[in-house]
Amino acid sequence: QVQLIESGGGLVQAGGSLKLSCAASGRTFTGYGMGWFRQAPGKEREFVASVGGAGSTFYVPSVKGRFTISRDNAKNTLYLQMTNLKLEDAAVYYCVAQNSGYYEHPSSWNYWGQGTQVTVSS
DSSP string, 19-54: EEEEEEESS--TTS-EEEEEE-TTS--EEEEEE-TT
Is a pLDDT exceeding 90 seen at residue 82? yes
- State residue 99's pLDDT score: 86
Gap between the Cα atoms of 30 and 19, Å rounded: 21
- State residue 76's pLDDT score: 94
Residues 6-20: pLDDT tens digits?
A: 999 999 999 999 999
Mean pLDDT in residue range 66-86: 97
Residues 20-35: pLDDT tens digits?
A: 999 999 999 999 999 9
